[in-house]
């Protein structure tokens, strides 16, 4: 569809992206693996399908994949030395779906190691740079995906969001990023971080593209028992515009110490929605401040269990020791980076006998309170509008020495993840330094339709999402 309307072939488009990647990747460090030969073959096959009269929104469309999606025959590293030479023998379900639809895979893009981070600086392959300012971070953990879209190094990119990893980099790079409801999109073949929080979604140029990707990715999967058929859920029919849409503004999301330009831009966006017919009212999510401590107990606890499989026997790196235990220890010591080790230790501690009730169970109880906050708010409003991040993209290295400062980058995205509800980041302005600002629109569980409709109506009336960095 897209290709036909632009009258170019999939091969031409793929060649243009590959040339641009070759030119810009040394400066931005987006692609960890470029899949040139296979991409051109896929493009050729797509052109043949188009010639035979086939049509489809993603047929021949070049896509980038965060390096946590398993790709058959193509190295998949999760940004980690421990998987530096790991080549999966199968595709993640979402990859297989896109492949069947005729998408072209340009390659694998950088991310924080095992998706742990907010800046894409925790990657074994070096940091990715923000296309708007190469001295700034692109956000994380899907920073490569966001930078790839912002720098025109793909048409769209897949990412994962466990606590903000799609929305926050989308906001830092001035692109659109949809974090789906927990359970809406299959995670089979996606390298796990925290299983009760991980979600798959897309980073795109605008919310219309986000909808195309959601329709392509969603649906039940016999390989993922947490994945539901959303059509049977509450997916309300999408409103045609903002008239009468009830927009709640959560007071707790305008935090002390936030960058004034961010607050101004987000408040201006909300005003604009009101001008377009939305009914805006303040709401409260009183347990928002529990988000950070609760998330940083649950996510590391689950990560410590998920990462136990990387032991030098089954996947990737193996550092042979004197015996099996020694091999485990040497492999994990050499293979994991320091942030991953920190989380494994935190998580193992929180799950250990005697502390499990005090930490993990209590965190799960507090999580229920956070979830209820959202349920109560959505009894009164259709969507929530808030900032994505308290500040715009920070400088490379600025937060790497202080993990808590890094964790604070996600204060406004974590509770949405803990509640399992959908959220989108859409560009809504720039700060004085020319860095993009994101507006977060949050919906009730499986209310992606409403979130996307609100985002599309906002983008139809604004041009922030069509600005591009000068490279």
Query: Among residues 251, 112, 232, which one has the least CA distance to residue 183?
Result: 232
Our finding on whether 165 is near ligand GLN (CB under 6 A) is yes
> Which window, 87-95, 158-166, 392-400, 439-447, contacts ligand GLN (CB under 6 A)?
158-166
Candidate residues 56, 107, 143, 163; the one interacting with ligand GLN per rule CB under 6 A: 163
Which candidate in 119, 123, 142, 165 is catalytic? Answer: 165
Inter-residue contact 181 to 452 (CB < 8 Å) = no
Query: Among residues 14, 61, 57, 71, which one has the least CA distance to residue 37?
Result: 14
Our finding on whether 408 is near ligand GLN (CB under 6 A) is no
CB 181 to ligand GLN: min, Å: 15
Find where tokens 């990412």 sit. 159
> Which window, 34-42, 65-73, 86-94, 160-168, contacts ligand GLN (CB under 6 A)?
160-168
> Which window, 83-91, 94-102, 157-165, 373-381, contacts ligand GLN (CB under 6 A)?
157-165
What is the C-alpha to C-alpha distance for residues 137 and 129, in angstroms, rounded to an integer?
5
Candidate residues 50, 116, 200, 396; the one interacting with ligand GLN per rule CB under 6 A: 116
Q: How many residues does the chain have?
A: 471
Count of residues engaged in binding ligand GLN, rule: CB under 6 A: 13
| Residue number closest to ligand GLN, CB atom | 165
Instruction: Tell me whether residue 88 or residue 163 sits nearer to ligand GLN (CB atom).
Output: 163
Helix (H, G, I), strand (E, B) or coil at 247: strand
Q: What is the DSSP letter of 218?
A: B
Token duo for residue 133: 């300012």
Candidate residues 31, 69, 188, 193; the one interacting with ligand GLN per rule CB under 6 A: 193
Candidate residues 124, 149, 269, 299; the one interacting with ligand GLN per rule CB under 6 A: 299
Q: What is the DSSP letter of 232?
A: G
CB 177 to ligand GLN: min, Å: 11
What is the C-alpha to C-alpha distance for residues 71 and 115, in angstroms, rounded to an integer?
17
Helix (H, G, I), strand (E, B) or coil at 68: coil
Our finding on whether 115 is near ligand GLN (CB under 6 A) is yes
Q: Which residues contact 410 (CB under 8 A, 6 or more apart)?
A: 118, 163, 164, 168, 292, 295, 389
What is the C-alpha to C-alpha distance for residues 109 and 129, in angstroms, rounded to an integer?
12
Pairing mode, strands 104-109 and 62-66: parallel
Q: Is 165 a catalytic residue?
A: yes
Contact mark string toward ligand GLN, 2..31, x via CB under 6 A: ------------------------------
CB 340 to ligand GLN: min, Å: 10
Token duo for residue 354: 């005697």
Instruction: Tell me whether residue 145 or residue 449 sits nearer to ligand GLN (CB atom).
Output: 145
Q: Is 341 a catalytic residue?
A: no
Our finding on whether 123 is near ligand GLN (CB under 6 A) is no
CB 180 to ligand GLN: min, Å: 13
Which candidate in 70, 123, 141, 145 is catalytic? Answer: 141
Inter-residue contact 8 to 155 (CB < 8 Å) = no
Our finding on whether 118 is near ligand GLN (CB under 6 A) is yes
Find where tokens 């936030």 sit. 258
Instruction: Tell me whether residue 352 or residue 405 sits nearer to ligand GLN (CB atom).
Output: 405
List, in sequence order, the alpha helices (H) in 182-323.
207-217, 260-275, 291-306
What is the C-alpha to C-alpha distance for residues 389 and 407, in angstroms, rounded to an integer?
11
CB 100 to ligand GLN: min, Å: 27
Residue 246 has a CB neighbour count (10 Å cut-off) of 14
CB 114 to ligand GLN: min, Å: 8
CB 299 to ligand GLN: min, Å: 5
Question: Taking CB under 6 A as the criterion, which residues in 124-143 touch ligand GLN?
Answer: 141
User: Which residues are 176's β-sheet partners?
Assistant: 204
What is the C-alpha to C-alpha distance for residues 400 and 182, in angstroms, rounded to an integer?
29
Q: Is 352 a catalytic residue?
A: no
> Which window, 156-164, 266-274, 437-445, 452-460, contacts ligand GLN (CB under 6 A)?
156-164
Inter-residue contact 212 to 347 (CB < 8 Å) = no
Candidate residues 60, 62, 107, 164; the one interacting with ligand GLN per rule CB under 6 A: 164
What is the C-alpha to C-alpha distance for residues 292 and 288, in angstroms, rounded to an integer?
8
Token duo for residue 435: 């860095």
Question: Taking CB under 6 A as the criterion, which residues in 301-360 touch ligand GLN?
Answer: none
Active site residues: 66, 141, 165
- Which residues contact ligand GLN (rule: CB under 6 A)? 115-118, 141, 161-165, 193, 299, 410
């Amino acid at each position: 569809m897209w290709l036909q309307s632009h009258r170019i072939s999939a091969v031409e488009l793929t060649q243009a992206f590959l040339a641009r990647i070759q030119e810009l990747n040394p400066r931005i460090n987006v692609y960890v693996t470029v899949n040139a030969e296979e991409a051109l073959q896929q493009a050729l096959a797509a052109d043949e399908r188009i010639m035979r009269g086939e049509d489809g929104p993603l047929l021949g469309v070049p896509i980038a994949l965060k390096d946590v999606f398993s790709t058959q025959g193509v190295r998949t590293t999760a940004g980690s030395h421990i998987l530096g030479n790991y080549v999966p023998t199968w595709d993640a379900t979402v990859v297989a779906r896109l492949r069947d639809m005729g998408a072209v895979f340009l390659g694998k893009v950088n991310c924080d190691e095992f998706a742990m981070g907010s800046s894409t600086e925790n990657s074994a392959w070096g940091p990715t740079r923000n296309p708007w300012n190469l001295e700034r971070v692109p956000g994380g953990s899907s920073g490569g995906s966001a930078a790839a879209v912002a720098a025109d190094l793909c048409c769209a990119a897949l990412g994962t969001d466990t606590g903000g990893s799609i929305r926050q980099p989308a906001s830092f790079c001035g692109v659109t990023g949809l974090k789906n409801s927990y359970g809406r999109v299959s995670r089979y073949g996606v390298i796990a971080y925290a299983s009760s929080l991980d979600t798959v979604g897309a980073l795109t140029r605008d919310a219309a593209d986000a909808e195309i990707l959601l329709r392509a990715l969603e649906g039940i999967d016999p390989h993922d028992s947490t994945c539901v058929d959303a059509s049977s859920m509450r997916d309300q029919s999408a409103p045609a515009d903002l008239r009468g849409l009830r927009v709640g503004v959560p007071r707790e999301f305008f935090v002390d110490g936030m960058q004034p330009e961010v607050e101004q831009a987000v408040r201006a966006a909300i005003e604009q929605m009101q001008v377009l017919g939305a009914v805006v009212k303040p709401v409260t999510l009183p347990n928002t401040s529990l988000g950070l401590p609760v998330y940083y107990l649950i996510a590391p606890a689950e990560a410590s269990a998920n990462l136990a499989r990387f032991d030098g026997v089954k996947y990737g790196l193996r550092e042979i020791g004197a015996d099996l235990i020694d091999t485990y220890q040497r492999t994990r010591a050499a293979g994991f980076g320091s942030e991953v080790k920190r989380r494994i230790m935190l998580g193992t501690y929180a799950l250990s006998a005697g502390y499990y009730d005090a930490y993990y169970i209590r965190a799960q109880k507090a999580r229920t309170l956070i979830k209820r906050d959202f349920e109560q708010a959505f009894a009164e409003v259709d969507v929530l509008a808030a900032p994505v991040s308290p500040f715009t993209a920070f400088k490379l290295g600025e937060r790497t020495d202080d993990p808590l400062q890094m964790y604070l980058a996600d204060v406004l995205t974590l509770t949405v993840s803990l509640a399992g509800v959908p959220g989108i980041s859409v560009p809504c302005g720039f700060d004085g330094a020319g860095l993009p600002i994101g507006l977060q629109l949050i919906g009730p569980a499986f209310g992606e339709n409403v979130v996307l409709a609100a985002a599309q109506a906002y983008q139809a009336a604004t041009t922030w999402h069509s600005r591009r960095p000068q490279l």
